[in-house]
Amino acid sequence: MPGTRLVLHVDADAFFASVEQALQPELKGKAVMVGGSDRGVVSAASYEARRYGVHSAMPVVQARRLCPHGIFLKPNFLAYRQFSRRMFQIMREYSPLVEVTSVDEGYMDLTGTLRLHRAPPWEIAHRILVDIRSQLGINASGGMAGNKTAAKMATGIAKPNGLLYLEPELAPLVLGQLPVGTIPGVGKKARIVLQRHGIRTVGDLAGIPTSKARSLLGLWGERLVETASGRRIRPVRSESREAQKSYSQERTLTEDTVDYAFVRRVAREIAEKLIARLRADGKGASTVTFKVRYADFTDKSRSVSLKEPTNENREILARIDSLFRKTITRSMSIRQVGVKLSGIDRPAFQEDLFEPDRTSRYQRDKAVDLIRNQFGFEAVCVSDWTAEPG
């Protein structure tokens, strides 16, 4: 058959909650929810918790009301990363063509491995899921089809703890009946627009002319029609990971505040942590963005671009200060503070014999990174980074 490809999508079920249950067997069979603070949302809910109507992205406060006896845990990202690495390792034992799309899901191209393993595709997929379950103690679901989108949608049908093989001839029939919102990329807004025009299922979307999709949803709409009709085929890419394009961190304060001096300190602290990550990765950023979310949930951000990528504290923190003044123009209390560093590239400045001051400042930045890595962020407080860049 021409161009017959076989893609397997693997997605761990209720990943964060499942890892917690694997690490603490006494949690098995119980309603486990992983979330940040009481001002946050649920990141993952075990299937036991879902029976009470809890789902991810639900405010923690609401989850507590629905499931008061449930177990609420703070996330342990280190453990999740370890389980994630092991899961992808298992997948790579069956094919080198594994694409990691997030901590708990990925694709693999099984086209070339069928002969290698001398087994039908569903058999291989089944073995992978069994290996994950037996070696990690967590359940994963799988979807197999002729392209990535169909495979991912198949996983959605198979969940939890299932496997679905959609043969290419059957895929349009099966997927065409699903609600249009099940297509990856159709969120709440797009769904509303589409429904207003009578487009309710994947099949409805596949059937409209691209010109109509474009008028409704722009370029994105055209792509969605191609996706819905199975014409948008993207290869499984196993490159370790494309270069990261931005580093950002946001923090929701424990309570809304009008103490702007405090907000500024938080922003600088976040920025220092991000810059340290840049330095650790040997990268620099050329765009600095400062963002606040006001108590009424409106967001405001201001950004500035530099001539060259940098990872020097002095350069970036001075920008944070001026952006801070440009951004906070209302006397409303602030809920969340965020910093984003983008335009990531190799840093322009390297330690240089002919710029002794700058070099020694840079060495100090790196020395502070070392100490903080060992003793924590609070171990060092440096106060004179407010200086304007020279």
Partner DNA sequence: TCTGGGGTCCTAGGACCC
Binding positions for DNA, rule: CB under 7 A: 36, 39-41, 43, 56-57, 59, 61-62, 65, 101-105, 152, 183-191, 218-220, 244-252, 287, 289, 297, 299-305, 326, 335-336, 338, 342
| Number of Cβ atoms within 10 Å of the Cβ of 211 | 11
Q: Annotate 3-23 with b (16+ C-beta within 10 A) or e (fewer).
A: eebbbbbbbbbbbbbbbbbbe
Output 115 or 189, the one with its CB closest to DNA: 189
Q: How far is the CB of 61 from DNA (least distance, A)?
A: 4
Output 89 or 244, the one with its CB closest to DNA: 244
Q: How far is the CB of 269 from DNA (least distance, A)?
A: 12
Output 313 or 336, the one with its CB closest to DNA: 336
Question: What span, in angstroms and rounded, lies between the C-alpha atoms of 21 and 29?
Answer: 8
Scanning the chain, the segments in alpha helix (DSSP H) are 15-23, 47-50, 60-66, 77-92, 113-117, 121-136, 148-158, 171-176, 188-196, 202-206, 210-228, 260-280, 313-327, 356-375
SS3 content of the chain, % helix, strand, coil (to 5): 45, 20, 35
- How far is Cα of residue 325 from the mean position of the Cα atoms in its chain? 30
Active site residue 105: yes
Output 302 or 361, the one with its CB closest to DNA: 302
Q: How far is the CB of 344 from DNA (least distance, A)?
A: 8
Q: How far is the CB of 198 from DNA (least distance, A)?
A: 17
Q: Which of 20, 48, 105, 222 is catalytic?
A: 105
Output 152 or 268, the one with its CB closest to DNA: 152
Q: How far is the CB of 178 from DNA (least distance, A)?
A: 13
Residue located via tokens 């959609």: 166
Residues marked as catalytic: 105
